[in-house]
Structure 1
Amino acid sequence: MRLLPYASLLLATACVPLGTPITSTNPATTSAQKAPEYYADKTLRYQDYTYSPDVRSVQCYVATGQPNEVFQPPVVPLGRSQAITLEFDVLGDQSQRYTAKLLHCDANWQQSVLTDLQFLNEINEFLITDYRVGINTRVPYFHYRMRAPGVKLSGNYLLVVQSAGGVPVVSRRLVVYENQVQVLLKPGIVVGGAERYTLQQLDFGIAYPSVNLVNPAAEVKVVLRQNFRWDNAKYNLRPTFVRDNERRLDYQYFGFENAFPGLSEYRYFDTRSVQAPGIGVLRVDPQTTPVTAILQPEATRAKQAYNQYQDANGQRVFESREYGRGDTNADYADVTFQLKAEQPAPGPVYVFGALTDWQLKDDFKLTYDEAKQLYTGRALLKQGYYNYSFAVGGARGSVPNEVYFEGTHQETENQYDLLVYYRPPGTRADLLIGYQTVTMNNRQ
């Protein structure tokens, strides 16, 4: 799901939990609501996570100098890790001192036993000195930016931003790869009945003509992702054929192990202007502090035919139509989501996407009004262009159910990538020895 050429000039976003307060010394922007209790738990999580209700609009991407660089996931070849950029806002009218560190992780995203000097050439503490105040915004904030340090090994890394005392503020997963093997990833054809209209299958193999892999059937680990998400990634996929003579691993499944729901193109709205409603916005009130924006009431798409348009695969960008740059010129708006439903869903309903770190956050949980047959929820979001979906929560640890409200179609445009890990004998690090991306139903 890619952006139209003109859309690349429009976009901008931010992530803000529904119902969280704006903590600031400015009484006009202070909410009486209590911050969600989970923010009280500062335990470091080896995932994309935000630990403070004051931290908003986190973006982690590869700086390419192109207009849509914020859509590039933090995945780089070895030698280019310093191109990964982390940006975030901190609400309030006082700047804070933040430092960052890098943690090396194994293929399962647990911290490895490597010492800092084994993967870094410098002291593992980086003071964030690039920060600027929001300009003429009703909601005061400071915008922080940093580049990831250079690393010596491929694999998984967790970039952690800390406040005074080593308390985590933001964590983001980074991936550094090298092309030791050839990754053969391509769109496949679903072998099934109705599933061929709703699922998207990825066929893949791994060729290793110039590298010796010891016991590759057991030691090579692969991860298959949709739209660079970790929440619904496919793990523990084992090769079905090991062709030693050809030095190749084949992964051929018949139980949809390598298939994902195609879903639908993501919903979207545009709050780049505070003077007039943008696309997807019902009305905007620029006189309030913060500015309020009520989105158009949405409806289920579960039984609708596929509707083709170009989107940003659940991502967002930040921008102000009136003042330009989104990093310091975009203000925050109190955004109300609306979803029409004749009856409650079989579980709690959430706004879902990059704006929620691809997690079902209580801050983004919607409330159902039986009399109005309407789900509603509010979030403080930075001006921009947003993609999102509605998801239904299930059992703890289960993949969010986007199909219930969004439907699923084989025709949907999605991006997929495959990560190939291997730990050489006698070493203590899972190296990322291969990486490949492919677009399903590419519109270009």
Structure 2
Amino acid sequence: MFSIKFVSAFFIVLLPFSGLSQITEVNPPDYIKTIIFKGNTPETQLPILKLGEYVVLEFDVLNGNEDDYYYKIDHFNYDWTPSALMKSEFMDGFDNQRIRNYQNSFNTYQIYSNYQLTIPNDQTRRLKVSGNYLISIFDSDNNLVFSRKFMINEDLTAVGVVIKRTRDIQFIEEKQRVEISVTSNNNQLNNPSQTVKALIVQNNNLNTAISNLKPQYTLGNQLIYRYDSESSFLGGNEYLFFENKEVRAANTGIRAIDLKDIYHNYLFTNVERASKPYTYNPDINGNYLVTALDVDNPDIEADYVWVHFSLVPNESFKNKNVHVYGNFNNYAIDNSTKLIYDQSRNTLSKAILLKQGFYNYKYVIVEKNGVLNEGAISGNFYQTENNYKVLIYYRDLGARYDKIIGVGEGSSVNISN
């Protein structure tokens, strides 16, 4: 008999300018690691599915208790405010079910349990409409443990994405702008200035996404977006990376290894790059991949390693809040990513527990006012190769929810003026 947890609460953040409540992702406690979305694409975060496709949510629990976890799915408008749909209108079946598929780690120093949830499944048989969704994971005491966003696309329009340099002379060496064209073939988009909205996501990071862009003009059956500052992103720099799929030997980016209670990997000490010329260095745009040598199933056989990051400080950021930044923890910034000054070595350093694999990372500054400054240490260069995804939302006149009617993708590898 399936256990059901009736849970209705979720965390909200009040928007001071609108009076509406906007949902934000809740990051997990320290004993939950490596939250991965898997679908038809190899990316580890921000899955954008076609209607009817499956998605797998996977995470590791390191406390060794084999606890029970339950999931809940909710539907949201384009701005992540709760939609007006009843659960039966967007879901065929039930949620609030226990996650039954889990395995314990095998032949690892760090014990953990790997949980996997596939949507759809026998209980949650189908998600019936497109739009924004949130999966929330609860423990057996109805406490919210973490949540993650995903999107479903109906693929009713073709979305063209072109990356160009900004037209603003002040930022011409630092920024990239996104031009969009939306082609509607068989579907008439009524009053598009009011019903159509675009979202632009750089490197799968919803925290820095540009939202609520409206089409500037219509050309035949096309909607055209050719903004400058409104659709521009700082280019940043290529991510740094390391690989530790062989935990017993130093690999790419790793200076030394040590075995204590578990393995420790010490990365080469990095330096500030903002004042140096741009150098092309292929990366995976902040993402990561769990992998390990000589194992059959990395989900349960890849080990956890304390990865030691270090950075040479300079006067521009020596006394500021410096963090390790990347998709390995959904771009979260907290005490677990904050570098601490090591006077004996004259470096800023931090150890983070990560599963074996290939990881991208960079160093960022959080200013005293809480503003994230991604380029202060790494720099901002228009040449940087970044991935951009564009989602087109549509709410027809009289409709009760925002559809996603098209998704486009582009890369700045071929950026033009």
C-alpha distance in structure 2 between counterparts of 1:427 and 1:240, whole Å = 23
Structure with the largest fraction of strand:
2
Instruction: Kindly indicate whether residue 375 of structure 2 is the aligned counterpart of residue 403 of structure 1.
Output: yes
Contact 1:47 1:158 in 2 (8 A): no
Instruction: Kindly indicate whether residue 325 of structure 2 is the aligned counterpart of residue 352 of structure 1.
Output: yes
Q: Which structure is higher in RCO with an 8 Å CA cutoff and minimum separation 6?
A: 1
C-alpha distance in structure 2 between counterparts of 1:176 and 1:413, whole Å = 26
Structure 2 match to 1:273: 246
Contact 2:195 2:397 in 1 (8 A): no
Contact 1:416 1:438 in 2 (8 A): yes
C-alpha distance in structure 1 between counterparts of 2:359 and 2:111, whole Å = 21
C-alpha distance in structure 2 between counterparts of 1:415 and 1:235, whole Å = 16
Structure 2 match to 1:366: 339
TM-score, normalization: structure 2? 0.87
C-alpha distance in structure 2 between counterparts of 1:442 and 1:214, whole Å = 34
Instruction: Kindly indicate whether residue 136 of structure 2 is the aligned counterpart of residue 169 of structure 1.
Output: no
Contact 2:56 2:119 in 1 (8 A): yes
Instruction: Kindly indicate whether residue 11 of structure 2 is the aligned counterpart of residue 44 of structure 1.
Output: yes
Greater Cα offset, 365-374 or 380-389: 365-374
Deviations 1:237-257 (A, max 9, x none): 2332245xx243322224x22
Structure 2 match to 1:225: 201
Deviations 1:406-426 (A, max 9, x none): 112222211111111111222
Structure 1 match to 2:30: 53
Structure 2 match to 1:252: 226
2:81 to 107, 110, 116: 110
Structure 2 match to 1:416: 388
Matches within 5 A, 1:229-308: 229-243=205-219, 246-254=220-228, 256-286=229-259, 288-308=260-280
Structure 1 match to 2:285: 313
Deviations 1:274-329 (A, max 9, x none): 2111111111112x112122111100111222222321111111222253532111
- RMSD over aligned Cα atoms: 2.2
C-alpha distance in structure 2 between counterparts of 1:354 and 1:175, whole Å = 18
Shift of 1:381: 1.3
| Structure 2 CA distance for partners of 1:403 and 1:235, relative to 1, 3 Å | same
C-alpha distance in structure 2 between counterparts of 1:284 and 1:325, whole Å = 23
C-alpha distance in structure 2 between counterparts of 1:248 and 1:185, whole Å = 13
Contact 2:242 2:360 in 1 (8 A): yes
C-alpha distance in structure 2 between counterparts of 1:107 and 1:365, whole Å = 32
The one-letter amino acid of 2:348's match is Y
The one-letter amino acid of 2:39's match is V
Shift of 1:163: 1.1
Structure 1 unpaired stretches of 5+:
1-41
| Identity over aligned pairs, percent | 28
SS at match of 2:210: coil
| Structure 2 CA distance for partners of 1:189 and 1:333, relative to 1, 3 Å | closer
Structure 2 match to 1:341: 313
Structure 2 unpaired stretches of 5+:
1-8, 13-22, 121-125
| Structure 2 CA distance for partners of 1:314 and 1:324, relative to 1, 3 Å | farther
Contact 1:318 1:385 in 2 (8 A): yes
Instruction: Kindly indicate whether residue 106 of structure 2 is the aligned counterpart of residue 135 of structure 1.
Output: yes
The one-letter amino acid of 2:11's match is L
| Structure 2 CA distance for partners of 1:107 and 1:301, relative to 1, 3 Å | same
Deviations 1:374-432 (A, max 9, x none): 2111111111111011111136664x212111112222211111111111222221111
Structure 2 match to 1:26: none
Shift of 1:61: 2.7
Aligned residues: 391
| Structure 2 CA distance for partners of 1:72 and 1:139, relative to 1, 3 Å | closer
Matches within 5 A, 1:14-33: none
